[in-house]
Amino acid sequence: MKMMKPLDEIAAANQRLWESEVLKGGGYTQPWLNLDRATLRHLAAGEPVSTPVPLYELFPTDLLQKVAGKDVLCLAAGGGQQTAVFGLLGANVTVADLTRGQLDGDETAAFHYGYPITTIQADMRDLSALPRQAFDLVFHADSLAYIPDLRQVYGEVANVLRPGGLYRVKHSQPAVHRLAWNGSAYEIAVPYAETIQHRADGGIEFRHRLDDIFNGLIENGFAIRRVVEAPHYQQSFTQEAPGSWGHETRYVAGGFAIVAQKQ
């Protein structure tokens, strides 16, 4: 496994946060070890199938089609979840993540299912440990809230993608990035002008506005092919407590993914 460069204050704080999540067994740190191969084959073939939890996190699922033999980078997506899907579909999978514990999950899933994987511990703002123009698809999980400058990451992704390669990146809705349950409804908790949140658990998050989200891609040589709204609201969270993530997704837009192509 290749090692990453020294971290700045932001990356170090968020690395501690996610190492703590791994120790606590948080949902995004648990490998998917009971995936149904038949369901994955149907998705990869573009056949109609009800997308089960937790596979809705991989929207749009048509990106899973024809990935066999392709070089796929799962970026800031450690934990043995997305990588397990691409690995089972026959892709050549690399995962880059800030947190060693998350990468352990990817290696656990790869061993469990029996596919090869490359794990690289890296800050998404510096992908110099990865080869240039080496990937056909970069699948970026919902992690850009942890970095201050989108364009820096977009530029790194452009460096490692082949010409014509696809970049799938998920974003939070900036207007509702920080909400609070007031006992009867969700309310906007902070002014839109505030962009930095120092969380009680030590993490540091940033709000990214729409002009940076979209124009940053264009400025780094990407053509936006489509935008897909997160399907979380379609899931059944009727038993979730008010104020929980599951309850919130029934009422609040859950973000969106952009599929962009390197020119």
- pLDDT, residue 129, reads 95
The answer to the question of residue 167 being in a domain is yes
Q: Mean per-residue pLDDT for 47-61?
A: 81
Lowest mean pLDDT among 35-44, 96-105, 199-208: 35-44
How far is 48 from 115, CA to CA, in rounded Å? 26
- pLDDT, residue 214, reads 98
Lowest mean pLDDT among 9-23, 144-158, 241-255: 241-255
Q: Provide, rounded to the nearest whole percent, the portion of the chain with pLDDT above 70.
A: 97
**What is the pTM for the complete model shown?**
0.93
pLDDT bucket at 178, cuts 50 / 70 / 90:
confident
Helices 9-24 and 100-113 cross at an angle (nearest 10°) of: 50
The answer to the question of residue 131 being in a domain is yes
Q: Is the pLDDT of residue 260 over 70?
A: yes
How far is 139 from 148, CA to CA, in rounded Å? 20
The answer to the question of residue 201 being in a domain is no
Q: Is the pLDDT of residue 91 over 90?
A: yes
CATH code for the domain of 30: 3.40.50.150
DSSP 12: H
Q: Is the pLDDT of residue 4 over 70?
A: no
The answer to the question of residue 80 being in a domain is yes
The answer to the question of residue 217 being in a domain is yes
User: What is the number of structural domains in the chain?
Assistant: 1
- pLDDT, residue 237, reads 62
- Identity (one letter) of the amino acid at 132? R
The answer to the question of residue 106 being in a domain is yes
Q: Is the pLDDT of residue 2 over 70?
A: no
Task: Kindly report the backbone phi and psi dihedral angles of residue 161, in degrees, each rounded to the nearest multiple of 5, phi listed first.
Answer: -85, 145
pLDDT bucket at 195, cuts 50 / 70 / 90:
very high
Arithmetic mean of pLDDT over the chain: 92
Q: Mean per-residue pLDDT for 96-115?
A: 98
The domain containing residue 116 runs over which residues?
9-45+57-176+209-236+255-262
The DSSP-derived string for 174-222 is: GGGSSEEE-SSSEEE-S-TT--EEE-TTS-EEE---HHHHHHHHHHTTE
Q: Mean per-residue pLDDT for 114-142?
A: 97
The answer to the question of residue 181 being in a domain is no
- pLDDT, residue 232, reads 77
- pLDDT, residue 23, reads 95
Tens digit of each residue's pLDDT (9 = 90 or more) over 219-254: 999 999 999 998 877 766 667 888 887 888 888 877
The answer to the question of residue 3 being in a domain is no
Q: Is the pLDDT of residue 191 over 80?
A: yes
- pLDDT, residue 44, reads 85
Q: What is the 3-state secondary structure (H, E, C) of 48-95?
A: CCCCCCCHHHHCCHHHHCCCCCCEEEEECCCCCCHHHHHHHCCCEEEE
pLDDT bucket at 115, cuts 50 / 70 / 90:
very high
179-181 and 186-188 strand pairing: antiparallel
117-121 and 92-97 strand pairing: parallel
